[in-house]
Amino acid sequence: MIFPLIKVLKNGLLVELDYMHPQEQEVVRALLNIVIVEGKTYPQKQPLSQAEFSAYWLSKDAFVVKTSVENATHKPKEILGAFYLKPNFPGRCSHICNAGFIVQPGLRGQGIGRFMGEAMLLIAANLGYEAVMFNLVFETNIPSITLWQSLGFEIIGRIGRAAKLGDEEVVDALMMYRALG
């Protein structure tokens, strides 16, 4: 595949998706920590240190969506969202990948997640993965469930009382799966 991938979002913003570069890691870690503190979509309870972030997010492939240079008149490109892509299981099952996604809170619902999801499916297939599996999609994360189902994912399981959200609400988590190719 040739990067960056370019897209015009539904709000007219021109964005690009590319591999994460080392100088972008701290911005993505800060964004992930915002999402973790929100307590609604990720299993971690506390913000991640640089070492914890590296082990979790940077173990294989990581990508960012940022404003395109055409948008940013002499301003640095702003990171709008990010995702990782890695094997979900080791060895004989490493052809099934897992991915995790984050979007800047004020920019959700603008098509960034869909762009990342569609790109992830192409990238995963290009990297040789044969399927994608999400282990813990909290049942209260309706935008995510709706997005993944619209991209062909099926709910293959439910884990009862899997997550204690930031407000102490206890919710089930869904396991979602999609074969590639």
Q: What is the pTM of this model?
A: 0.95
pLDDT tens across the length of the chain (181 residues): 999 999 999 889 999 999 999 999 999 999 999 999 999 999 999 999 999 999 999 999 999 999 987 554 556 789 999 999 999 999 999 999 999 999 999 999 999 999 999 999 999 999 999 999 999 999 999 999 999 999 999 999 999 999 999 888 999 999 999 999 8
Q: What is the pLDDT of residue 72?
A: 47
Contact 16, 5 (CB under 8 A): yes
Q: What share of the chain is helix, strand, coil (3-state, %, to 5)?
A: 30, 35, 35
Q: β-pairing, 14-19 with 5-8?
A: antiparallel
Q: What is the pLDDT of residue 120?
A: 98
Q: What is the pLDDT of residue 166?
A: 86
Q: What is the pLDDT of residue 1?
A: 92
> Whole-angstrom Cα distance, residue 98 to residue 113?
15
Q: Which residues contact 170 (CB under 8 A, 6 or more apart)?
A: 161, 163, 164
Q: SS3 of 104, please?
A: coil
